[in-house]
């Protein structure tokens, strides 16, 4: 096992929806790629997520939203991060998110949104690329 | 933003209780980055006052839920609480699932609680040392209680617990044989043995076992004899919880014992001695390996041992002579 | 969101799968190149198969099957507002649907009123209907003959409350309770195992389920109080054999609990029904359905000593696999749905939902929904597969596979038993671990191209995919909240308080909760208020493990 800087990723599923198959598959894929995955579980509020991300000093927050609540939840996360001077924490997401919302979410500062059909390696590569520091 | 604050500035903010700075400094020491030593020397004068509580036990024993309740008790006493939860890294990928936060959610909205998950990794300086540093940072942050929770799996993790003033070992009913096997180890580190999930079948038997084992041990007059406390830490309703108050009181008694006897001085002395030993070991190793780097000597030594032309003790002696005591 | 509509994350590529390993079904069974008499040498046609309509019902639950009793064509009839859902139900009935499934929106699923801060942005979500109070139930059922059309409420943790509303509305319309038909999914166990829409810990939830069971037993003899659902287990990642084993074990648990509450097995077991997924592997699915009936029948008779043959009959609803549908080359889904639906029919289902081919990426259009419905009608009326009963019986392969499904199931039963039963296994994280493993394996198989998904990891074509969400009408959330605010303002507040107090008291004791719930919903106490009160007594559940 290699020493040194490990990527720390907070994975959470905000909102009311409990379908956690995707989020758990991604969490495991990231762990298998050598990352430290802080799993915050289901039904988390944006504030809980941001507080956990700050305490754990994660490099990124990954959120799964399938219920259509992305336009409510993502902006809150971004704004709480900003309030706490932690905008450098990357936020990415996955789920069922239409293109028209994607553009808007990215302009808010969401790094990337992975939709249906994404290979988990795409997510790993993305984090490797983006979190190089 | 992340790069802008100087280490000294972050320490300043840490001392004022800033979570973000605490978090960032922990990352810095966890990764043994360049400023690691400087951070620790700035932090050290602000440590030493917190009560350090160690909690260990097998997976599934209910450590995190118990921790969750204890946090509540300390918060009721008005104390700020820091928690370090150590989880194992995967030996295959080096990654880890750090999922204990889910069980510590009752306090996710409380500013007086700071929780940090740590993977056991393959720390160059050892897990213990990294954890000690994290605990120090939590102390400097102003936490009056620091709880360190580890899976009592390997020696490395048991060592971590040595820094605690009061150490809780969790067992569950039905671990009968395991308890027998663990007995020696438990005696060594436990100040309080918590028989958790005491509502399960076989709890009475386990309790008798544990108490029997303890009375069989020899303790000197005035010496702390480990106590057994039965608890139920997993319950859906608060009224179904058991033994949390008793446990809190027992912890307080142990603390009082430490304070009134001279034991505390000895405990502090032992802790610092151990910490110092760890740092020496680590730093010496670093110096020596750094000295050998690029000379090809390290490989030569190792191969000579494998080929039985040499033995590890002679090699160490030779290296020490060459690199540390050049005068001799 | 109803995961019946979800899709899985899968990889893409263009290389095909190959090698011996590719001849495995979704349960991971190695499939032989050829099956012959030796593979079913132990099969006793009399005791293992029987005749259709006879014990152990392997060949189907009716003597004449589809020749006289066509399966129910059951489509989804939900949309954000109760009145829009009502319109849609009427439309579907006009189109020839013979049963309706009704999904709820996320806040309702989680027992929260539309005005709950946590409901923000999710009111009327995912094509589910928002139900806060009896007022919503009235609008939803307006003009629908609920004593003739069977409505399947895809309702779980909140079932007792919805049942109370349903019963209260029927009473207002002077429909005798004994005439009411329909189904509550009300399968709480699989919530902890798969779908994760739980509020209370498993044991109090089980008590509520048993309360609804005895209530229906007494007053609603034609109503199905629990639909034991494997579909969601499969959607969460369970393999078909795991789906089968876990679902049946859940079913047996409900039977045990019903008996423990004082009901005789034959008084309620005939009303239990099942819900399975029709997944991609054609014969595996057929074997799964056949094995399900046989295991259920044998266990009911041998272990629970059921005397009534209807207690031994496993009636099922099936749905094609939403999770097998791809966003890429969405038209391919038409074929997937067709083969899956065909396998469900050959497996002997009593009721079938076919997914719309475009639902992985968009809101199904009237056209795509019609196509889904017509798919069933074509199978039923054109393909000729219904002309004879259980046409696959005696097939070396199908019978061998049915046997293997059964054998493997018993291994899972044993594991669950060793953990202290289903609820203990839930508490110990057994299901979470197995299902996470299976989901991850499936994903890996696809990413490593050991399993082909046409148009995705083989025969892939670049295309622009956009996802269209089944969002509620803009403004619906505000409208719903303002209606609810009015309702909460204009009711008898003292009465509301009394009702909530009653609910608290009954919850603390052991009496059936239904009368208190019916009184409460009639007094305009809302779903969120009722669940909130119960949480105070029962506590809240949280899944706290990750694998």
In order, the DSSP letters of C17-48 are: P-SGGGSB-TT-PBPPS---GGGGTT--IIII
Question: Does residue B284 surpass a pLDDT of 70?
Answer: yes
**Least confident stretch, B291-295, B314-318, C467-471, C497-501:** C467-471
Instruction: Please tell me the predicted confidence (pLDDT) of residue C318.
Output: 96
Give yes or no for a contact between B36 and B132, defined as CB atoms under 8 angstroms apart.
Answer: no
Which residues pair with residue C322 across a beta bridge?
none
For residue B52, the number of C-alpha atoms closer than 13 Å in the C-beta half-sphere is: 25
Q: Which one, of C320, C287, C387, C395, lies nearest residue C65 by Cα?
A: C387
Give yes or no for a contact between C240 and C435, defined as CB atoms under 8 angstroms apart.
Answer: no
Contact yes or no for A40 and B2 at CB 8 A:
no
Distance CA B28, CA B36 (A): 6
Distance CA B249, CA B246 (A): 5
Instruction: Please tell me the predicted confidence (pLDDT) of residue B176.
Output: 55
Question: Does residue A81 surpass a pLDDT of 50?
Answer: yes
- For chain B, the three-class secondary structure string (H helix, E strand, C coil) is CCCCCCHHHHHHHHHCCCHHHHHHHHHHHHCCCCCHHHHHHHHHHHCCCCEEEEEEECCCCCHHHHHHHHHHHHHHCCCCEEEEEEECCCCCCCCEEECHHHHHHHHCCCCCEEEEEEECCCCCCHHHHHHHHHHHHHHHCCCCEEEEEEECCCHHHHHHHCCCCEEEEEECCCCHHHHHHHHHHHHHHCCEEEECCCCCCCHHHHHHHHHHHHHHCCCCCCCCCCEEEECECCCCCHHHCECHHHHHHHHHHHHHHHHHCCHHHHHHHHHHHHHHHHHHHHHHHHHHHHHHCCCCHHHHHHHHHHCCCCCHHHHHHHHHHHHCCCCC
Angle at B279 between CA B275 and CA B281, to 5 degrees: 115
CA C134 to chain centroid: 24
**Least confident stretch, C86-90, C311-315, C503-507:** C86-90
Distance CA B171, CA B249 (A): 19
Average pLDDT taken over every residue of chain C: 92
Question: Does residue B58 surpass a pLDDT of 50?
Answer: yes
What is the separation, in whole angstroms, between the first and last Cα of chain C?
Answer: 24
Contact yes or no for B20 and A27 at CB 8 A:
no
Instruction: Please tell me the predicted confidence (pLDDT) of residue C363.
Output: 73
Q: Which one, of A91, A63, A69, lies nearest residue A79 by Cα?
A: A91
Distance CA C133, CA C484 (A): 8
Instruction: Please tell me the predicted confidence (pLDDT) of residue C8.
Output: 37
Contact yes or no for C204 and B103 at CB 8 A:
no
Instruction: List the single residue in B with minimal CA-CA distance to A26.
Output: B97
User: What does residue C133 show for φ and ψ, rounded to 5 degrees?
Assistant: -145, 175
Token pair recorded at residue A105 = 């979410």
Instruction: Look up the CATH number of the domain holding residue A73.
Output: 3.40.50.280
Q: Is B94 on the interface with A (CB under 8 A)?
A: yes
Kindly state the average pLDDT of the residues B221-229: 85
User: Per-domain residue ranges for chain B?
Assistant: 48-261, 262-328
> Is A65 a member of any domain?
yes
Question: Does residue C282 surpass a pLDDT of 60?
Answer: yes
User: Chain A partners of B5 at a C-beta cutoff of 8 Å?
Assistant: none
Distance CA C483, CA C469 (A): 25
Give yes or no for a contact between C146 and C178, defined as CB atoms under 8 angstroms apart.
Answer: no
All domains in chain C, ordered by first residue:
3-69+185-447 (3.20.20.240)
Min Cα distance B113 → chain A (Å) is: 10
CA C547 to chain centroid: 25
> Is A3 a member of any domain?
no
Give yes or no for a contact between C204 and C191, defined as CB atoms under 8 angstroms apart.
Answer: no
Tens of pLDDT, residue by residue over C379-398, are 999 999 999 999 999 999 99
Distance CA B66, CA C498 (A): 37
Q: Give residue ranges of A with CB < 8 Å to any C CB.
A: 15-22, 24-29, 39, 41-43, 45, 66-69, 71-73, 94, 96-100, 114-121
Tens of pLDDT, residue by residue over A3-52, are 457 899 999 999 898 889 999 999 999 999 999 999 998 988 999 999 99
Burial C106-127 (b: 16+ CB within 10 A, else e): bbbbbbbbbbbebbbbbbbbbb
Question: Does residue A1 surpass a pLDDT of 50?
Answer: no
Kindly state the average pLDDT of the residues B184-203: 81
Distance CA C238, CA C542 (A): 21
Cβ pairs B/C, distance under 8 A: 27
Contact yes or no for C119 and A16 at CB 8 A:
yes
Tens of pLDDT, residue by residue over C513-542, are 999 999 999 999 999 999 999 999 999 998
Cβ pairs A/B, distance under 8 A: 96
Instruction: Please tell me the predicted confidence (pLDDT) of residue C272.
Output: 96
CB proximity under 8 Å: A 107-126 to B: none
Tell me which residue range forms the domain holding A110: 8-126
Number of domains in chain A: 1
Token pair recorded at residue A49 = 């997520």
User: What does residue C416 show for φ and ψ, rounded to 5 degrees?
Assistant: -65, -40
User: Chain B partners of A5 at a C-beta cutoff of 8 Å?
Assistant: 31
CA C535 to chain centroid: 25
C150 exposed, middle or buried (CB, 10 Å; 0-12, 13-18, 19+)? buried
Nearest to A1 among B27, B94, B115 (CB): B94
The band of C14, judged by pLDDT with boundaries at 50, 70 and 90, is very low
> Is A56 a member of any domain?
yes
Token pair recorded at residue C78 = 């939900």
Min Cα distance C392 → chain B (Å) is: 47
Tens of pLDDT, residue by residue over C65-107, are 999 889 988 877 667 789 888 998 898 888 887 778 889 999 9
User: Chain C partners of B105 at a C-beta cutoff of 8 Å?
Assistant: 542
C56 cis-preceded (ω within 30 degrees of 0): yes
> Is A78 a member of any domain?
yes
Higher pLDDT, B297 or C139: C139
Q: Which of B17, B108, B143, B282 to mutate: most A Cβ within 10 Å?
A: B108
The share of chain C scoring above pLDDT 90, in percent, equals 79
Angle at B100 between CA B98 and CA B104, to 5 degrees: 145
CA A14 to chain centroid: 10
Question: Does residue C141 surpass a pLDDT of 80?
Answer: yes
Tens of pLDDT, residue by residue over B73-117, are 999 999 999 999 988 888 888 899 998 888 888 888 889 999 999
Tens of pLDDT, residue by residue over C422-459, are 999 998 899 999 999 999 999 999 999 999 999 999 99
Contact yes or no for B98 and A36 at CB 8 A:
yes
The band of A118, judged by pLDDT with boundaries at 50, 70 and 90, is confident
Distance CA C278, CA A59 (A): 41
The band of C36, judged by pLDDT with boundaries at 50, 70 and 90, is very high
Angle at C311 between CA C309 and CA C314, to 5 degrees: 100
Question: Does residue C241 surpass a pLDDT of 90?
Answer: yes
Give yes or no for a contact between C402 and C290, defined as CB atoms under 8 angstroms apart.
Answer: yes
Distance CA C403, CA C39 (A): 10
Nearest to C545 among B99, B236, B237 (CB): B99
Strand, coil or helix: C437: helix
Instruction: Please tell me the predicted confidence (pLDDT) of residue B120.
Output: 84
CATH class of B48-261: alpha beta
Instruction: Please tell me the predicted confidence (pLDDT) of residue C367.
Output: 87
Give yes or no for a contact between B42 and B28, defined as CB atoms under 8 angstroms apart.
Answer: no
Distances (CA, A) of B308 to A94, B292, B300, B313, B316: 56, 21, 12, 12, 15
Contact yes or no for A119 and C10 at CB 8 A:
yes
Contact yes or no for C11 and A121 at CB 8 A:
yes
Question: Does residue C15 surpass a pLDDT of 50?
Answer: no
Higher pLDDT, B102 or C17: B102
Kindly state the average pLDDT of the residues C402-426: 97
> Is A99 a member of any domain?
yes
Contact yes or no for B123 and A3 at CB 8 A:
yes
Instruction: Please tell me the predicted confidence (pLDDT) of residue C398.
Output: 98
Instruction: Please tell me the predicted confidence (pLDDT) of residue B128.
Output: 78
Give yes or no for a contact between A112 and A84, defined as CB atoms under 8 angstroms apart.
Answer: no
Tens of pLDDT, residue by residue over B108-167, are 888 999 999 999 887 666 677 889 999 999 999 999 999 999 876 666 667 777 788 999
User: Chain A partners of B108 at a C-beta cutoff of 8 Å?
Assistant: 48, 51-52
Average pLDDT taken over every residue of chain B: 85
Distances (CA, A) of B270 to B93, B162, B277, C387, C545: 36, 9, 10, 86, 37
CA B150 to chain centroid: 7
The band of C264, judged by pLDDT with boundaries at 50, 70 and 90, is very high
Instruction: Please tell me the predicted confidence (pLDDT) of residue B3.
Output: 53
CB proximity under 8 Å: B 99-118 to C: 99, 102-103, 105
Contact yes or no for B99 and C546 at CB 8 A:
yes
Distance CA C89, CA C74 (A): 11
Q: Is B269 on the interface with C (CB under 8 A)?
A: no
Instruction: Please tell me the predicted confidence (pLDDT) of residue C16.
Output: 42
The band of C11, judged by pLDDT with boundaries at 50, 70 and 90, is very low
């Amino acid at each position: 096992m290699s020493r040194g800087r490990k990527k720390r990723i907070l994975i959470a599923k905000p909102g009311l929806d409990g379908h956690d198959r995707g989020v758990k598959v991604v969490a495991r894929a990231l762990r298998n790629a050598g990352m430290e995955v802080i799993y915050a579980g289901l039904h988390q509020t944006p504030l809980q997520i941001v507080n956990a991300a700050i305490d754990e000093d994660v490099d990124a927050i990954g959120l799964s939203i399938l219920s259509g609540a992305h336009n409510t939840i993502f902006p809150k996360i971004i704004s709480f991060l900003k309030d706490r001077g932690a905008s450098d924490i990357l936020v990415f997401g996955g789920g069922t998110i239409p293109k028209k919302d994607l553009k808007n979410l990215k302009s808010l500062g969401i790094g990337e949104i992975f939709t249906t059909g994404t290979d988990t390696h795409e997510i790993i590569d993305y984090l490797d690329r983006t979190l190089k520091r | 933003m992340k790069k802008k604050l100087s280490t000294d500035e972050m320490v300043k903010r840490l001392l004022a209780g800033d979570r973000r700075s605490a978090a960032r400094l922990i990352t810095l020491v966890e990764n043994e980055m360049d400023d690691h030593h400087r951070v620790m020397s700035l932090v050290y004068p602000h440590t030493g006052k917190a009560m350090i509580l160690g909690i260990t036990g097998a997976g599934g024993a209910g450590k995190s839920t118990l921790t969750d309740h204890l946090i509540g008790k300390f918060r009721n006493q008005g104390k700020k609480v820091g928690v370090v939860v150590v989880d194992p890294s995967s030996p295959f990928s080096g990654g880890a699932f750090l999922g204990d936060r889910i069980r510590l959610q009752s306090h996710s909205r409380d500013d007086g609680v700071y929780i940090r998950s740590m993977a056991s990794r393959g720390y160059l300086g050892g897990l213990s040392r990294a954890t000690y540093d994290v605990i120090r940072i939590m102390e400097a942050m102003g936490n009056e209680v620091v709880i360190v929770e580890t899976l009592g799996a390997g020696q490395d993790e048991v060592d971590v617990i040595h820094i605690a003033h009061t150490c809780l070992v969790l067992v569950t009913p039905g671990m009968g044989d395991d308890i027998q096997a663990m007995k020696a180890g438990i005696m060594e580190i436990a100040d309080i043995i918590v028989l958790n999930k005491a509502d399960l079948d076989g709890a009475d038997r386990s309790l008798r076992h544990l108490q029997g084992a303890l009375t069989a041990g020899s303790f000197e007059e005035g010496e702390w004899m480990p106590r057994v406390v039965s608890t139920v830490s997993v319950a859906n309703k608060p009224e179904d919880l058991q033994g949390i108050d008793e446990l809190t009181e027992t912890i307080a008694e142990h603390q009082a014992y430490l304070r009134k006897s001279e034991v505390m001085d000895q405990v502090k002395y032992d802790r610092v001695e151990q910490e110092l030993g760890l740092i020496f070991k680590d730093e010496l190793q670093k110096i020596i390996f750094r000295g050998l780097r690029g000379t090809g000597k390290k490989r030569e030594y190792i191969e000579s041992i494998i080929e039985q032309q040499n033995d590890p003790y002679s090699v160490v002696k030779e290296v020490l002579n060459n690199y540390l005591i050049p005068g001799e | 969101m109803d995961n019946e509509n979800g899709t899985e994350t899968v990889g893409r590529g263009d290389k095909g799968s190959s090698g011996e390993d590719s001849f495995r079904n979704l349960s991971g069974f190695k499939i032989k190149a050829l099956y012959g008499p030796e593979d079913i040498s132990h099969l006793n046609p009399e005791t293992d198969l029987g005749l259709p309509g006879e014990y152990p019902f392997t060949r189907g639950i009716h003597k004449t099957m589809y020749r006289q009793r066509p399966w129910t064509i059951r489509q989804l009839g939900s949309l954000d507002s109760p009145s829009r859902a009502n319109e849609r139900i009427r439309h579907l009935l006009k189109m020839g649907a013979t049963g309706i499934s009704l999904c709820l929106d996320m806040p309702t699923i989680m027992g929260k009123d539309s005005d709950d801060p946590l409901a923000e942005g999710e009111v009327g979500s995912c094509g589910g209907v928002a139900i806060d109070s009896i007022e919503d139930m009235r609008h939803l059922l307006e003009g629908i003959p609920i004593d003739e059309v069977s409505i399947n409420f895809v309702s779980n943790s909140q079932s007792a409350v919805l049942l109370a509303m349903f019963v209260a509305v029927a009473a207002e319309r002077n429909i005798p309770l004994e005439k009411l038909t329909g189904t509550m999914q009300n399968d709480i166990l699989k919530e902890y195992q798969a779908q994760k829409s739980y509020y209370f810990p498993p044991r109090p939830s089980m008590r509520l389920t048993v309360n609804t069971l005895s209530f229906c037993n007494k007053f609603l003899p034609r109503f199905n109080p629990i639909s034991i659902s494997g579909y969601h287990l499969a959607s969460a990642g369970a393999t078909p054999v795991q789906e089968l084993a876990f679902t049946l074990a859940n079913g047996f648990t409900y039977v045990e609990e019903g008996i423990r509450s004082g009901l005789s097995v034959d008084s309620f077991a005939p009303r239990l029904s099942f819900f399975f997924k029709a997944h991609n592997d054609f014969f595996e699915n057929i074997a799964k359905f056949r094995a399900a009936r046989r295991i259920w029948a044998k266990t009911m008779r041998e272990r629970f000593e059921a005397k009534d043959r209807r207690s031994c009959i496993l009636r099922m609803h099936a749905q094609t696999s939403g999770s097998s549908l791809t966003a890429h080359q969405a038209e391919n889904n038409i074929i997937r749905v067709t083969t899956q639906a065909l396998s469900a029919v050959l497996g002997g289902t009593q009721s079938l939902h076919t997914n719309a081919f475009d639902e992985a990426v968009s809101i199904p259009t009237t056209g795509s929904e019609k196509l889904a419905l017509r798919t069933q009608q074509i199978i039923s009326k054109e393909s000729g597969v219904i002309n004879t009963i259980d046409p696959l019986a005696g097939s070396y392969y199908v019978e061998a596979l049915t046997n293997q499904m059964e054998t493997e199931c018993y291994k899972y039963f044993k594991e669950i038993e060793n953990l202290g039963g289903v609820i203990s296994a839930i508490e110990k994280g057994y299901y979470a671990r197995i299902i996470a493993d299976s989901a991850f394996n499936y994903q890996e198989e696809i990413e490593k191209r050991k399993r082909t998904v046409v148009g995705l990891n083989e025969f892939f074509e670049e295309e622009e995919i956009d996802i269209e969400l089944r969002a509620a009408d803009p403004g619906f959330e505000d409208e719903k909240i303002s209606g609810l605010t009015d309702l909460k303002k204009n009711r008898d507040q003292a009465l509301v308080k009394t009702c909530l107090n009653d609910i608290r008291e009954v919850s603390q004791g052991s009496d059936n909760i239904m009368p208190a719930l019916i009184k409460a919903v009639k007094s305009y106490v809302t779903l969120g208020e009722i669940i909130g009160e119960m949480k105070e007594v029962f506590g809240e559940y949280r899944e706290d493990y990750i694998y």
